[in-house]
Structure 1
Amino acid sequence: MDTLPNRQQEVLRATVHHYVDTIEPVGSRTLVQRFGLKASSATVRSAMGALEQRGLLTQPHTSAGRVPSARGYRHYVDCLLPKPGAAVQHLEQELTQISLRWAALDDLLQQMARRLTDFTGLMSLITRPQRSTPSLQAVRLVCSGDRLLVMLVESSNQASHLNLRLPHGSGHQLEAMETWTRRQLDSSRDGNLDWNSLPLQLQPFGRVLEDAISSHQQLKQAEETAALVHGVSRLIAQPEFIDSSLVRPLLELVDQRPGALVPADHPPERGVWIGEEHPEAALQQFSVVQAPYRSGSEGIGHVALIGPMRMAYATGLAAARSVARALERLLS
């Protein structure tokens, strides 16, 4: 991220704070008056123009003021984030007083998610702690009539079985396919199969097998990554999401694959995904703040806040991290 001149940093910071508070585009005169900038309106207007050229501000209408872009929010989070206010310190103190009174883990996580939503006004999600996904160790193929029985052996020594329709004319390729998967896994550190390197004659068979294994792994991960969610109504009430079609894909994702909101293989920069930085299309109109927590031998869980890109990032990040620290203390 390029370093901005001090004046542009000051103007970008003020523009973000104004828009987070008001949801209104802002002009130079308002910034000078509201934030006491020690510059003329003309100087601030020039800085806003430079920020727009850099792609950090945008002008929604010709006659309107300017608002931060996704890139503007990213620069703000990376370079201009203020220290959290006194309210976050009070939250931290409150969380240190919590003892493990709840009989079940889900009760504790639900209580924490509710408190996080009440504090930030954002939708919160907390995943249960989970060990890393076992890697694939071996693939065994057995033909039975027109059916293909697939056994997947994982590094945890667990085995899963898939029952597929045998692709037409591929019965004689079972040995070659099994040999290819064995060589792939022997040379792979992470248990992944490089389907792009599959020999041409095995590709029709391979496409069926690849789709089946991928679907099975995604379903298994979704089943294991359960999450406690609170504050959906707060999200829907945000002015940006009056059009419910923007929120529907996100809610479907939360219902079907909650772990996809905090994908471990795509860690966010500085704990935040902003807009299209998130790998899930359903979240590319949102920002997601994330903080991991470790629960002894049970693995790693995640505390997340989901809201519009117009978010109080300093408060959200500090609150999520405070809850994560409290969970580590309670579950250690």
Structure 2
Amino acid sequence: MVLLSPRQQQVLKATVRHYIDTVEPVSSNTLVQRFHLRASPATIRNAMVWLERQGLLRQPHTSAGRIPSQQGYRHYVDALLPHGGSQVERLQRELNGLGLQFQWTALDDLLRFLAGRLADLTGLLALITRPTPPTPRLRTMRLVSSGERLVLMMVDRGGNMATLNIRHPPARPQDVLLLERWLDHQLRSGGKIDWQALPSQHRGLGRPVQLAFENHLRQFPLAVDGMVAVGLGGLVTQPEFHQGRHNLRDLLQLVEERPEELLQEQPQQCSTVLGAPRLQHVSIGREHKTPTLAACALVKVPYGGHQGTRGWVAVLGPMRMAYETIIGSAHSVAAALERLLV
């Protein structure tokens, strides 16, 4: 991380704040006037030039002012994030008042209500997953040889079973048993099948099983832990997407058809805020593994449920988001869920 002087920190923080509020590049004169900086516009301009050279600011056009870069937002989140402010405090007070009236409602109704409050406050897409046990979803895989067919039976942790019939030349019973044991070991070790680690002696039988399994997942994916999403309308009206600067169609398709990819990300972590006893995960721009999210930022906060279950509270928006409000609000919702679901 680049070390900044107090003045450089002040200028970066003000530039981020101005761009979040206005979606407009900012000049040194505007920063001095709006944020009452105790320096001349020339001094502030020099600081902005230095920050641009360090990759923390960028100039979208030659004659324009400057805006934060992806690295600028990252530095802001990691080192300069202020208190969440009055909006977060109001939400916290509201959520603290939730009690018995929600203890008898359906879980999805509670999640939808909380996601709605989070979406209303942030103006972005709020997602909350149902709390689930930290165990592999696919519990076991069994193979049965039947003439020229191999039957693959898959059982998830909920007891649901799916069966695949795979055409294959007759296989020796010991080969079927050894492949089944390898599959079982994979599930017990990592909760999923690492087909690249398939031993060479199993490949003749294992490759057809792999192809059938992966084709099955593409057509009938194993159920992902439930999720409620509220606020898509707010997301699509953000200037970054409304003005067509980014591929909104691909983003909508991701949210509607493959929402689990949003929560499979392993982004960077930054320090907690508001004294919350948990870390939030913040991924910005091209830190995402999913290319569709290259223009977005995602904030995720974990929450714990009954008997060791865990879920996520998340907010998706453009990189230009009010991180302090969103992170603080997500923490508040996560804390409310932990209190209500114990």
TM-score range, shorter chain: 0.7 to 0.9
Q: How does 1:254-269 map to 2 (within 5 A)?
A: 254-263=255-264, 266=266, 268-269=268-269
Return the letter of the residue paired with 2:151.
Answer: L
Tell me if structure 1 keeps the 8 A contact 2:140–2:154.
Answer: yes
**Cα RMSD after superposing both structures:** 2.9
TM-score (norm 1): 0.86
Return the letter of the residue paired with 1:300.
Answer: R
Equivalent residue number for residue 318 of structure 2: 308
Equivalent residue number for residue 127 of structure 1: 129
SS at match of 1:129: coil
Give 5+ residue unaligned stretches, structure 1.
none
Equivalent residue number for residue 85 of structure 2: 85
Query: Quick one: distance in 2 between partners of 1:245 and 1:145?
Result: 53
Query: Quick one: distance in 1 between partners of 2:237 and 2:94?
Result: 27
Does 266-275 or 10-19 show the bigger shift? Answer: 266-275
SS at match of 1:101: helix
Q: How does 1:106-255 map to 2 (within 5 A)?
A: 106-134=108-136, 139-152=141-154, 156=157, 158=159, 160-167=161-168, 171-172=170-171, 175-176=174-175, 178-180=177-179, 182-183=181-182, 186=185, 189-200=189-200, 202-203=202-203, 205-214=205-214, 223-242=223-242, 243=244, 246-255=247-256
Post-superposition offset of 1:254: 2.6
TM-score (norm 2): 0.84
Post-superposition offset of 1:80: 0.4
How many residues end up aligned between the 2 structures?
328
Does 93-102 or 225-234 show the bigger shift? Answer: 93-102
Return the letter of the residue paired with 2:253.
Answer: E
Equivalent residue number for residue 331 of structure 1: 341
In structure 2, the CA distance between the partners of 1:266 and 1:31, relative to structure 1 (3 Å rule), is same
Of the candidates 294, 298, 304, which is equivalent to residue 294 of structure 1?
304
Residues 60-111 of structure 1, C-alpha deviations (whole Å, 9 max, x = no match): 1121111111111111000000011122111111111112424211111111
Return the letter of the residue paired with 2:20.
Answer: V
Equivalent residue number for residue 12 of structure 1: 12
Return the letter of the residue paired with 2:30.
Answer: T
In structure 2, the CA distance between the partners of 1:106 and 1:269, relative to structure 1 (3 Å rule), is same
Return the letter of the residue paired with 1:165.
Answer: I
Query: Quick one: distance in 2 between partners of 1:135 and 1:15?
Result: 45
Query: Quick one: distance in 1 between partners of 2:251 and 2:225?
Result: 16
Does 271-280 or 58-67 show the bigger shift? Answer: 271-280
SS at match of 2:101: coil
Return the letter of the residue paired with 1:283.
Answer: L
Post-superposition offset of 1:328: 1.1
Q: How does 1:268-279 map to 2 (within 5 A)?
A: 268-270=268-270, 271=280, 272-279=282-289
